[in-house]
Amino acid sequence: EPFLKYIWNRYNFDENVAEIVDNSEFSSLCNKVDTDTYNHSNEPKNICIKFLRNLKELNNITKEDHLKRCSNIYYWLYYKIKEHNICVHTFKSIIAESNELIKQQQNIDGCYNDKLYENFDETENLVMLHIFNNNFHVIQELLNNECDSNKCSCKKFIKKCVDSYKHMRKKHCPTEKFASDKMHTCLPVNNFKEIMRHFFRRKIININFQNYLLKLLRIL
């Protein structure tokens, strides 16, 4: 997903493992990760090392930016696991090792939402909506920049988000009111709708893209 790579690059999430100055702490934890029997590459371990390095970097992030960056780290991990066809068991094993790092680093507040990954059949729809909601200022900036080469991939990403919204609204969140046990599912759905409304009310995106969105958002 080119647009997601644009987001990850803004945070330098994909720094090459060989370029991480001291990864011994991360390597010792990632050596414990249970990997897929059929995956004989070093990719699961490399992803784990990058993930733990990104979490530790939260020590250097201001309180105001902490939650957004932390959430994006977990979304990055999900897409890396998906990109390399790594099994769910390995994903959960990496999360378990990250909890060890968080315990060791008192300044790191974890933001892992286990409910988001309970039902992997719906996780991608929810993660996609969370990414949109978490980065809508970046999306707004892109859409209003006539010369940005990432604009096309951004539009494709938004189209997928709209499809995810429609699916989740129809299957899980038919109304804007929901019970507390549906919060992790329906809150990002409602937030997506509110951000879209915000785009139109404030007229903060150019008219051409407004027309494009109107065609997508007839359900809203």
Range of the domain at 97: 2-112
The domain boundary, picked from 66, 91, 112, lies at: 112
Q: Are residues 100 and 124 in the same domain?
A: no
**pLDDT at residue 109, rounded to an integer:** 63
* pTM (predicted TM-score): 0.87
212: three-class secondary structure by DSSP = helix
**pLDDT at residue 178, rounded to an integer:** 85
- CA 104 – CA 86 distance, rounded (Å): 27
Tell which residue, 50, 60, 44, 55, has the closest CA to residue 19: 50
The domain boundary, picked from 112, 134, 157, lies at: 112
Tell which residue, 145, 137, 185, has the closest CA to residue 165: 185
H-helix or E-strand spanning residue 74: helix 63-83
Q: Are residues 95 and 125 in the same domain?
A: no
The domain boundary, picked from 80, 95, 112, lies at: 112
Q: Are residues 184 and 89 in the same domain?
A: no
Q: Are residues 101 and 9 in the same domain?
A: yes
Q: Are residues 41 and 78 in the same domain?
A: yes
What's the token pair of residue 200?
Answer: 């139109």
Q: Are residues 81 and 132 in the same domain?
A: no
Residues in the chain: 220
Q: Are residues 63 and 134 in the same domain?
A: no
**pLDDT tens-digit profile, the chain (220 residues):** 789 999 999 999 998 877 666 778 888 889 888 776 556 678 898 999 999 999 988 888 888 888 899 999 999 999 999 998 888 889 989 999 898 888 776 556 668 888 888 777 889 999 999 999 999 888 888 877 777 788 889 888 998 999 999 999 999 999 888 888 888 899 999 999 998 887 766 665 566 666 666 666 665 5
Cβ atoms 4, 130 nearer than 8 A: no
Tell which residue, 70, 77, 79, 83, has the closest CA to residue 48: 77
